[in-house]
Structure 1
Amino acid sequence: MAMVAGVGDAMQLLHLLAGVGTPANYNHWAALGNDQWSFEKCEPYFKKLENASSQPKAPYRGHDGPIHIRQDPSLNSVDKYIEEAAKDMNLPVRNDINNPNAPPEALFEIEHMITKTGHRNSAAVGYLPKSLVLKRQETLTICSGAVATRLQFNQDGTEATGVYILDRLTQKSTKECLVHAKREVIVSCGALFSPQFLMLSGIGPKEQIQHHKIPLVRDMSGVGATLNDHIAFSIAFQARLADSYIRLLNPLIAIWHLLLFIFTKTGIFSRSGARLCAFLSSENIDEKTMTLKPPKDASDEQRRRDPHLPENAPDLELLFINAAFDYERGKGYCGFQTCLVQPFSRGKVELASSDPLALPKFYSQFLSDPRDWAVARKAARFAMNYVETFRKSKYPFDSTWHIAPGVKRGSMEGSWKDVSDEEMDRFLRERLLNFYHPTSTCHMGLEEDGAVVGQDLKVHGFQNLRIADASVFPTVTSAHTTAPVYMVAERSADFIKNDWAKKESH
């Protein structure tokens, strides 16, 4: 588990990928009973948040938002051969990963949340620039180093009247301070910590709350349940050192790129670590060839190309990275971070204690659903075949296996055709990765179905308590989760403004 403490969210560390995801994801949310969260309802907010300089004339993209989004040209020779190999895998190559009308299965050129000067465009940079902070200093208070410990409620437990906070910068201070709420309280602690905060406040599964001797305010079994996250593993191969970020281990190369960034805002340090990724559906993979099946007929082709159908949401991602684990100095590596992006397995978050400074218990429970094993095996074989297909290209280097099941490292001995399910499962157990996209621990939906928040993001049973982070996702999106989280925040702001405008008009 990785955590970030600071203004500007986890984008201070993560990959900066600006992926909205296919409309199918949001139409799936709508099909689950959240009709106000279809792609038609969400799309205006995606456009509102972005300034898509990479697609300046696209009418379906935003161009005035606070988050600058761009694409960068390749700095290596390997990318074009990965694109060529995609065609032999029956994967079309597309430029705009955020085109809502693009077919859901393709190799896409990634967009990144990076400013014109090559800096990270986090939420702090986009939504909280220094100029805005100074303008609103009479009404905006940022408490750095403070920890929200629990909520205060009115007598009947239907309204949040305040938040208790603890100053962690002053080590001697152990006394909580109460900040009174005049209108609303918005919880935005993230998918791993929003459920903890609710449970510390007495909202959550009755057994857990009473076990830790916390006064029960509302029994809600859905708090902390249905943790949904992307599951990943790497299929990697050796490449030219000049095509791999491993070359930055050479101090002279690292210094050169640092100087490029400082003086020209170019070079490796001005961009993210990934440029290409493929999305596809495992059910469309031909198990005999480990390529995408061609459509059966025109009708099947039309159905599969429709990005709005909920059933067309991709369940696999192959993120091409110019680096790999277990590297040796002086050698270059590339690989596919192979991800299950619609896993069936669900985890949970539970309280470890009533201490707000203690971490909660996280149970990822990856591959706990047997259906995910079948998808993971197919994904690994598809990624291996992609590497083997790439190796047949005119790439000017004799690539060898680095990380893959049932192969000999440093050679091309072994193939997706030869690896057994037993070897595959052993590899997956050893190499499984967390992709740091946790969602759905306070998921949206009907209260009778165990959901925590309604479509207006208010916690069921409370008049003025909302949640605005990835924990409210009904299910994890196929895309990386940053842009969807920003969309949720934008919608939350409008919900709040509209609600209070109505109250003031009366």
Structure 2
Amino acid sequence: MSSELKKHHFDFIVCGAGTAGSVVAGRLAENPEVEVLLIEAGGGDEHPHVLEPGNWPLNLGSERDWNFVGAANPHLNDRKIPLNMGRGLGGGSSVNVMLWARGHKNDWEDFAAQSGDPAWNYASALKIYQRVEDYQGACDPVRRGKGGPVHVAPVRDAQPIANAMLSAAAGMGIPVFDNPNGAMMEGRGGAALNDLIVKDGRRNSIYRAYVAPRRGQPNLTVLTDTLVSRVLFRDQRAIGVQTISNGQTECFYANHEVILSLGAVNTPKVLMQSGVGPEEELQRHGIALVQQLPGVGANHQDHVSFAVIFEYATPQAVGYGGSEATLYWSSDSTLRLPDMFHCQVEFPVPSAETASLGVPVHGWTMFAGLAHPESRGRVKLSGPNVTDAPIIEPNTLSHPADLRNALENIRFVQELGAQAPFKGLVKGESLPGKLNTQSLEHYARNAAVTYWHQCGTAKMGQDAMSVVDGQLRVYGVQGLRIADASIMPHVTSGNTMAPCVVIGERAVEAIRATYDI
């Protein structure tokens, strides 16, 4: 489409066609009077590895992946862990495990408290979810939606291992729910079969839900294979963006606003390279300061998990996408949010460093995950140019509480996997096995991997480290908003795709109110 493009002026420019960006562009384009440009660095989504649910692992390391890698981390035995991120129409929603996890009630209450804006509270988020969902599961008009753009369906015909996991959880006193997105996430947590964005056996990404039906409208322009290199400012107002495509630099201009939806790595990178961020970091790379915001790139968070791998007694089939059951639980009933976030995967998934420890050919993995790690990282620049790779310092396990909780979570999963419902289905535990505390710590540092939920690097709030306000407007400048996971004050309980849909919807509510559109 870029070769045909003659227009360079639009009402809104949305940078990034991932989960939140697709929501923003698709919703704004509903009004035929509003001219929208959506810019995506990657290509299209017509690929069997995108469309076939079971093929998602084949996207990792492909051209549909930014292939980010964290800096060497002394807390992980100096490992550099892969931090894959979707690149292409749909972003993460085109390459992820398709889980629809809406977050805990208190995640949204926290967002409202941090932003000082009740429009972020749970009651408001619930209304948005009801509006966006086309839920195919059991009727729950109080909590679930019908007729919205996002097709959400419970796992069908779950594999025996997924059902065994639910029975095992029940045996340990953890309540089992008929879905993970209703009452379960208003209390202490529980176990449930997953909700997925799979429609008629194919992935139905957020791009497919919001933007694809509007392609062809004269007021919506979608550019692929086009990199946003920086935001253009006149004084303190964002007036457009500079892009690079096929080696050609172009500028596009926004009559109203630029919305950054580039994700928790590229959003702070583009902000800093445009002159918005910590003054020291910009000075280091000779970038002229437009607005001093020390929080840009700070507060990096991600879910971390540790594989506990079990061997099957006999080989088992892999269900839709291979992840059919999830367990969220609060180890202490007084906690406001679940601290455990465990995902079942129907094949063995060791880290690169634990792969040599005796992984069974046929087995399943229970990822022992930390729902709310205390460790915080940072995204920094390696240089001033769009081609200069970002430096990501996740600092995983840098907070001592995270290592303690990691060991507790691993031991919990080992106990879960030893429960009676697995009898006859599972031969036994392969990794990590019975280890003393020191050996288990060593295993945890080598086994730690991301759940691919990077967020927080341009957080919403009211303190000195906040980057956007409750309306998602970037502090100190005009005409610039952020709508993606980077605005999260803290990571939500569970997978981040569904909360990013809410973030996109909230951005659109704020934009419509501002311009009466």
Give the corresponding residue for 1:90.
Answer: 173
Give the corresponding residue for 1:231.
Answer: 304
Q: Which whole-Å CA distance do the structure 2 matches of 1:347 and 1:330 have between them?
A: 34
Matched, 1:318 2:342: yes
- Cα distance, 1:205–1:58 mapped onto 2, change above 3 Å: same
Alpha-carbon displacement from aligned partner over 1:4-43 (angstroms, at most 9, x marks no partner): 3211121211110001022011112233343321111221
Q: Which whole-Å CA distance do the structure 1 matches of 2:315 and 2:219 have between them?
A: 51
Matched, 1:403 2:431: yes
Matched, 1:106 2:106: no
8 Å CA contact 1:51–1:64 kept in 2: the answer is: yes
Alpha-carbon displacement from aligned partner over 1:386-444 (angstroms, at most 9, x marks no partner): 1122xx3463245122112xx2xxxxxx3xxxx32201110111111011101110000
Give the corresponding residue for 1:186.
Answer: 259
- Higher deviation after alignment, 324-333 or 3-12: 324-333
Give the corresponding residue for 2:327.
Answer: 278
8 Å CA contact 2:155–2:193 kept in 1: the answer is: no
Give the corresponding residue for 2:241.
Answer: 163
Give the corresponding residue for 2:147.
Answer: 64
Give the corresponding residue for 2:274.
Answer: 201
Q: Which has the higher strand share?
A: 2
Q: What are the equivalent positions in structure 2 for 1:36-185 lying under 5 Å apart?
A: 36=118, 37-100=120-183, 103-115=187-199, 117-129=200-212, 131-134=213-216, 136=217, 138-155=218-235, 157=236, 159-167=237-245, 170-171=246-247, 173=248, 176-185=249-258
Q: Which whole-Å CA distance do the structure 1 matches of 2:415 and 2:465 have between them?
A: 42
Secondary structure at 1:207's aligned position in 2?
helix
Secondary structure at 1:471's aligned position in 2?
helix
Alpha-carbon displacement from aligned partner over 1:54-113 (angstroms, at most 9, x marks no partner): 134533211011110001233432333222221221111111211146533211121001
Equivalent position amino acid for 1:231 in 2: V
Q: What are the equivalent positions in structure 2 for 1:438-449 lying under 5 Å apart?
A: 438-446=454-462, 448-449=463-464
Secondary structure at 2:227's aligned position in 1?
strand
Q: Which whole-Å CA distance do the structure 2 matches of 1:87 and 1:24 have between them?
A: 24
Secondary structure at 2:231's aligned position in 1?
strand
Q: How many residue pairs align between the two structures?
A: 427
Give the corresponding residue for 1:472.
Answer: 487
From 441, 451, 461, give the equivalent of 1:435: 451
Give the corresponding residue for 2:505.
Answer: 490
Q: Which whole-Å CA distance do the structure 2 matches of 1:395 and 1:74 have between them?
A: 20
Considering only CA atoms, is the larger Rg found in Structure 1 or Structure 2? 1
Alpha-carbon displacement from aligned partner over 1:213-238 (angstroms, at most 9, x marks no partner): 11110111000000011011101110
Give the corresponding residue for 2:93.
Answer: 11
Equivalent position amino acid for 2:108 in 1: Y
From 106, 117, 138, give the equivalent of 1:35: 117
Equivalent position amino acid for 2:91 in 1: D
Q: Which whole-Å CA distance do the structure 2 matches of 1:79 and 1:332 have between them?
A: 15
Give the corresponding residue for 2:439.
Answer: 423
8 Å CA contact 2:115–2:470 kept in 1: the answer is: no
Alpha-carbon displacement from aligned partner over 1:341-369 (angstroms, at most 9, x marks no partner): 10000000001111102220000100101
Give the corresponding residue for 2:375.
Answer: 345
8 Å CA contact 1:108–1:276 kept in 2: the answer is: yes
Q: Which whole-Å CA distance do the structure 2 matches of 1:330 and 1:386 have between them?
A: 19
Query: What is the alpha-carbon root mean square deviation over aligned residues?
Result: 1.9
- Cα distance, 1:132–1:442 mapped onto 2, change above 3 Å: same
Q: Which whole-Å CA distance do the structure 2 matches of 1:463 and 1:78 have between them?
A: 52
Secondary structure at 2:220's aligned position in 1?
coil
Q: Which whole-Å CA distance do the structure 1 matches of 2:147 and 2:239 have between them?
A: 36
Which of structure 1's runs of 4+ aligned residues deviate more than 6 A? 327-330
**Ranges in structure 1 where 5+ consecutive residues have no aligned partner:** 246-267, 285-303, 305-310, 408-413
Equivalent position amino acid for 2:255 in 1: K
8 Å CA contact 1:230–1:434 kept in 2: the answer is: yes
